């Protein structure tokens, strides 16, 4: 009888839990809408806590509502190993983005416990607060505050469209979970492993079940506001107009031109645009739009991002414009040592791997700033994600968690 911890991974149990969690916020189209701090997410967290207690894990929360489920090690005073991801989704999300890393972490810990072995360090499964940033922008707030990349006082004040603040809504979650012990923000950790669906097509194309993530591409985001003047659509001559939408579209076209690279590596997106007063016979007085810019090269991210304010200014026409930078995350490379050990862990249980870069952001970005961090990708069908059609196979789910379990047990024993 083999004595590897990964032999105790139960694929059926893993899949069942993924499906169970997907019921919280399930939509008629087979997707999931489980926004951060929503009643659906609170209910999903309660289910995680229930499972954790069944396994003898110790649940806890911190002040920004990151949720931790601890398997205690033989030396509980050592900094723990963290494994996890997030369970919030986009408004039209799928079943696996984020959920896979948390439920996979739970399965890894259950496998280790079932093997009869106990790691030296405690292992915390973590569900980070607000990774998606759909209601409160930007995303990855829980891991950003945990790692002190951003300050709690600043994050707390972020408001949604209805004027509700992060603080108010986090307090609702903490009240619902008042029986859970409170952990200090940003306690010392030995390492972090995040398993996630690829959200791309490289693994599927190569027929490889597990990806060793080399790093994350850089990202900058901005909010642009164009201020014009409201006037009558019938009586205001063109020369007299200060049409905020006309200026915004001129700015948009100029930005598209500037970001258009031959290699097709720049990722430039205006995904949100709001026109006010948004009335058919009124010249628009105000436009707000978002900019999401990404690239794998630090120089390019810097250069293109720095161009944005001047392009906006040069194309504002009769209106005024303000450009507010929201986020600047340079490209990063994960620990070479952990990548090597992840590859070796997979090899010793016969799982082929390949290295690849993550084009999407993950909580692993911020953990990487404070501890050795690794990411494991599994294939997802046609690379579709942030969509109800997001799909993975039970086999890939299981293989990914087997590799996760091997690496987690190894790291927790150091
Ligand atoms: Zn995710």
Instruction: Calculate how far, in angstroms, residue 58's C-alpha sits from the geometric centre of ligand 1.
Output: 24
Q: How far is Cα 199 from Cα 213, in angstroms, rounded to an integer?
A: 12
Q: What's the average pLDDT block by block, 10 residues per block, for the chain (414 residues)?
A: 87 98 97 96 98 97 98 98 98 97 98 96 98 91 96 94 93 96 96 98 98 96 97 96 98 98 96 96 98 96 98 98 94 96 98 96 96 98 95 98 98 96
- How high is the pLDDT of residue 2? 59
Question: CA nearest 18: which of 135, 78, 107, 92?
Answer: 107
CB atoms within 5 A of ion ligand 1 belong to 97-98
Structure tokens at 152: 């709690």
Encoded tokens for 143: 């891991």
- At 212, give phi and psi (nearest 5°): -100, 115
* Centroid of ligand 1 to alpha carbon of 184 (angstroms): 24
User: Ligand 1 centre and the CA of 170: distance in Å?
Assistant: 20
pLDDT of residue 143: 98
Q: What is the pTM of this model?
A: 0.88
Contact by Cβ (8 Å): 107, 17: yes
C-beta separation of 298 from 330 below 8 A: yes
Distances in whole angstroms, Cα of residue 179 to Cα of each of 150, 176, 408? 27, 8, 29
> Which residue bears the tokens 């009586």?
235
From CA 409, how far away is CA 414, in angstroms rounded? 9
Looking at residue 122, what is its pLDDT?
98
Q: State residue 354 phi and psi, 5-degree precision.
A: -145, 155
Q: How far is the CA of 409 from the centre of ligand 1 (A)?
A: 23
Q: State the number of CA atoms in the 13 A half-sphere of 182 facing the CB.
A: 10
């Amino acid at each position: 009888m083999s004595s590897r911890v990964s032999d105790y991974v139960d694929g059926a149990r893993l899949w069942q839990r993924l499906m169970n969690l997907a019921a919280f916020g399930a939509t008629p189209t087979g997707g999931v809408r489980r926004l951060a701090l929503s009643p659906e997410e609170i209910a999903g967290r309660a289910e995680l806590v229930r499972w954790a207690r069944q396994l003898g894990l110790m649940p806890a929360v911190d002040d920004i509502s990151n949720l931790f489920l601890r398997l205690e090690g033989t030396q509980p005073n050592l900094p723990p190993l963290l494994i996890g991801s997030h369970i919030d989704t986009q408004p039209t999300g799928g079943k696996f983005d984020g959920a896979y890393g948390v439920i996979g972490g739970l399965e890894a810990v259950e496998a280790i416990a079932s093997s009869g072995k106990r790691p030296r360090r405690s292992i915390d499964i973590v569900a980070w607060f607000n990774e998606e940033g759909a209601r409160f922008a930007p995303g990855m707030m829980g891991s950003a505050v945990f790692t002190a990349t951003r300050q709690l006082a600043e994050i707390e004040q972020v408001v949604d469209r209805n004027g509700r603040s992060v603080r108010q809504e986090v307090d609702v979650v903490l009240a619902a979970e008042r029986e859970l012990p409170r952990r200090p923000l940003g306690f010392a950790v030995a390492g972090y492993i995040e398993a996630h669906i690829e959200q791309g097509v490289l693994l599927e194309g190569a027929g490889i079940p597990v990806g060793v993530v080399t790093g994350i591409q850089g990202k900058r985001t901005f909010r642009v506001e164009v201020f014009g003047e409201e006037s009558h659509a019938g009586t205001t001559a063109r020369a007299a107009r200060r049409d905020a939408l006309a200026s915004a579209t001129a700015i948009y076209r100029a930005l598209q031109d500037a970001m258009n690279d031959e290699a097709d590596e720049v990722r430039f997106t205006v995904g949100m645009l709001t026109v006010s007063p948004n009335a058919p016979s009124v010249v628009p007085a105000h436009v707000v739009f978002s900019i999401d810019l990404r690239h794998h090269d630090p120089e390019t991210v810097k250069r293109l991002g720095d161009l944005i304010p001047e392009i906006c200014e040069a194309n504002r026409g009769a209106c005024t414009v303000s450009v507010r930078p929201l986020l600047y995350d340079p490209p990063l490379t994960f620990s070479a040592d952990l990548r090597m050990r992840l590859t070796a862990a997979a090899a010793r249980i016969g799982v082929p791997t390949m290295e690849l870069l993550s084009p999407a952001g993950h909580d692993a970005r911020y953990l990487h700033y404070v501890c050795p961090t690794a990411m494991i990708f599994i294939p997802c069908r046609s690379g579709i994600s942030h969509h109800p059609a997001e799909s993975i196979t039970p086999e890939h789910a299981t293989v990914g968690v087997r590799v996760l379990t091997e690496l987690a047990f190894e790291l927790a024993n150091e």
